[in-house]
């Protein structure tokens, strides 16, 4: 270790030719989180040049420490030579972003607010069920799409999350649930739903890289059958997502007529219902596509709309997920009554589609669908309003 009086010049410790990954955590060091085996090999070759075979071996070992064991301290990575561990520790980090707050709802749902190196924040939610548990991952700070019923869409600050920032959400949940090293059986955290803040297909590359890491058998080992990505309908990327990732697909449909969908999900003005359903009919997965339909009293919840929904889905292997509207302060809608939701579901089910009503989870900590908006953002706005 150098003496504290000798600050480390990162320009000289790592060869200039290498572009350093960005810091993720408050330590300001370049983060290894989010790098795949090839990315780790590039880092290793830069900090301690060796033969290609040696570098590849070390990269696989480092990958194992990061994503199978969840190690954050290079000192603990005992299969790596001490010299390499020390060299890595000079400039690189596997530290997590700061967990600013953790909340636990009465129903066991957990929500973490994560702060990244630049001070921006996102929320990640873990939803435990009897025989599985899903982590709801965010892909953007805020969302550019401003769907009229969604709290996230009202956040003024928006940026894409990097691969590291998306991957870190998975690592933080594994840390909190104490599920390192990755076990094949019996773990609480079994599924990922990309349904947090942001539109994942507007941040496709980073989301795809993080999901590839999540699916890697030698690391986080979450199967693609247990990953579902939700989109409001970025049609060109739906096809790419099917071809490259083949994860489960969920579509935020919410309306059966273009005039109403234009209002609820403004992206519909770019890719309308017919174009969207055409892309869905070509999506290559054996799993049915989930169509999400938020139940808004008097807006989209009539029997006629249920019948039209069934007509539209004809020929697409589909399941309809009815989401009771989750309120947020100042929201311009109310949730449909239980009777109305049941009547709507009955029509969809009679046509042969599974039509579960999603139980709202974690409403008391504003962790349910469409309620995410970071606490600091809420406080900021409250201060402005005061
Ligand atoms: N941006 C993506 C993924 C995140 S939203 C998308 O829109 O699909 C996850 C789901 O929650 C979407 O189906 C979204 O339409 C729904 N949702 C948003 N606000 C909601 C609210 N207030 N109540 C219930 N569901 C909501
Ligand atoms: Fe964005 Fe999805 Fe919310 Fe629409 S529903 S504003 S796409 S996060």
Residue identifier of the C-alpha nearest atom 19 of ligand 1: 370
Q: What is the mean pLDDT of residues 198-219?
A: 97
Q: What is the pLDDT of residue 94?
A: 97
- Per the omega criterion (within 30 degrees of 0), is the bond before 229 cis? no
Q: What is the pLDDT of residue 274?
A: 98
- Cβ pair 188, 177 in contact under 8 A: yes
CA–centroid distance, residue 198 to ligand 1 (Å): 9
- Taken in order 137, 202, 245, 33, the sign of the CA dihedral is negative
Residue 146 Cβ inside 6 Å of ligand 2? The answer reads yes
For residue range 94-113, list pLDDT tens digits in order: 999 999 999 999 999 999 99
Residue 158 Cβ inside 6 Å of ligand 2? The answer reads no
Q: How many residues does the chain have?
A: 386
- Cβ pair 335, 296 in contact under 8 A: yes
For residue range 26-61, list pLDDT tens digits in order: 888 999 999 999 999 999 999 999 999 999 999 999
For residue range 152-172, list pLDDT tens digits in order: 888 887 899 999 999 999 999
CA–centroid distance, residue 369 to ligand 2 (Å): 10
- Cβ pair 139, 161 in contact under 8 A: yes
Which of 156, 194, 198, 237, when mutated, tests ligand 2's pocket best, judged by the most ligand atoms within 8 Å of its CB?
198
Q: What is the pLDDT of residue 202?
A: 97
| Pairing verdict, β 98-104 and 92-93 | unpaired
Question: Of 3.20.20.150, 1.10.150.530, 1.10.10.10, 3.40.190.10, which CATH number belongs to 30-93?
Answer: 1.10.150.530
Q: What is the pLDDT of residue 285?
A: 77
210 closest CA partner among 138, 152, 157: 138
Residue identifier of the C-alpha nearest atom 8 of ligand 2: 198
Tell me how far apart the alpha carbons of residues 36 and 3 are, in angstroms, rounded to a whole number.
Answer: 33
Which architecture characterizes domain 98-385 according to CATH? Answer: Alpha-Beta Barrel (3.20)
The radius of gyration of the chain's CA atoms, rounded to the nearest angstrom, is 22
Task: Provide CATH 3.20.20.70 ranges for the chain.
Answer: 98-385
Q: What is the pLDDT of residue 377?
A: 65
- Cβ pair 373, 379 in contact under 8 A: no
For residue range 373-385, list pLDDT tens digits in order: 766 666 655 555 5
Q: Dihedral through CA 135, CA 139, CA 145, CA 149, nearest 10?
A: 20
Q: What is the pLDDT of residue 386?
A: 47
Tell me how far apart the alpha carbons of residues 217 and 224 are, in angstroms, rounded to a whole number.
Answer: 11
Q: What is the pLDDT of residue 379?
A: 62
Structure tokens at 71: 């190690």
136 classed as catalytic: no
For residue range 295-343, list pLDDT tens digits in order: 999 999 999 999 999 999 999 999 999 999 998 888 999 999 999 999 9
Taking all residues of the chain, what is their mean pLDDT, rounded to a whole number?
Answer: 91
For residue range 113-126, list pLDDT tens digits in order: 999 999 999 999 99
Structure tokens at 309: 């929904």
Q: What is the pLDDT of residue 6?
A: 43
Residue 149 Cβ inside 6 Å of ligand 1? The answer reads yes
Q: Does 16 score more than 90 pLDDT? A: no
For residue range 257-305, list pLDDT tens digits in order: 999 999 999 999 999 999 999 999 999 977 899 999 999 999 999 999 9
- Cβ pair 121, 374 in contact under 8 A: yes
130 classed as catalytic: no
Q: What is the pLDDT of residue 380?
A: 59
Task: Provide CATH 1.10.150.530 ranges for the chain.
Answer: 30-93
CA–centroid distance, residue 60 to ligand 1 (Å): 38
Any idea which ligand is nearest the CA of 250?
1
Predicted TM-score (pTM) of the model is: 0.93
Q: What is the pLDDT of residue 93?
A: 97
Q: Does 251 score more than 80 pLDDT? A: yes
């Amino acid at each position: 270790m150098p003496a504290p009086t000798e600050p480390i010049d990162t320009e000289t410790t790592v060869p200039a030719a290498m572009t350093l990954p960005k810091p993720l955590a408050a330590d300001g060091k370049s983060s290894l989180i989010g790098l795949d085996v090839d990315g780790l090999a590039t880092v290793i070759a830069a900090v301690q040049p060796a033969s290609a075979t040696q570098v590849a071996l070390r990269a696989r070992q480092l990958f194992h420490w990061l994503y199978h064991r969840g190690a954050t301290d290079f000192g603990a990575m005992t299969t790596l030579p001490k010299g390499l561990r020390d060299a890595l520790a000079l400039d690189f980090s596997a530290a997590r972003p700061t967990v600013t707050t953790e909340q636990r709802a009465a129903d066991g749902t957990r929500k973490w607010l994560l702060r990244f190196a630049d001070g921006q924040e996102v929320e990640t939610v873990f939803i435990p069920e009897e025989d599985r548990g899903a982590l709801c991952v965010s892909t953007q700070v805020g969302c550019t799409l401003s769907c009229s019923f969604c709290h996230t869409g009202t956040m003024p600050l928006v940026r894409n999350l990097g691969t590291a920032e998306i991957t870190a959400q998975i690592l933080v949940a594994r840390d909190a649930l104490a599920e390192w090293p990755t076990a094949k059986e019996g773990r609480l955290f079994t599924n990922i739903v990309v349904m947090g803040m942001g539109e994942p297909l507007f941040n496709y590359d980073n989301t795809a890289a993080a999901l590839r890491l999540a699916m890697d058998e030698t690391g986080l080992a979450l199967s693609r059958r247990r990953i579902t990505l939700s989109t409001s309908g970025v049609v060109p990327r739906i096809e790419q997502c099917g071809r490259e990732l083949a994860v489960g697909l969920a579509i935020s449909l919410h309306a059966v007529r273009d005039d109403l969908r234009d209002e609820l999900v403004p992206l519909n003005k770019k890719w309308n219902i017919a174009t969207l359903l055409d892309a869905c009919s070509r999506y290559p997965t054996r799993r049915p596509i989930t169509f999400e339909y938020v139940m808004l009293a008097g807006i989209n919840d009539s029997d006629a709309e249920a019948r039209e929904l069934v007509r539209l889905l004809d020929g697409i292997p589909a399941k309809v997920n009815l989401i009771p509207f989750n309120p947020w302060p100042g929201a311009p809608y109310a949730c449909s009554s239980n009777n109305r939701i049941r009547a709507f579901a009955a029509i969809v089910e009679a046509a042969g589609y599974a039509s579960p009503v999603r139980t709202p989870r974690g409403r008391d900590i504003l962790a349910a669908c469409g309620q995410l908006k970071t606490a600091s953002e809420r406080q900021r706005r409250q201060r402005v309003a005061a």
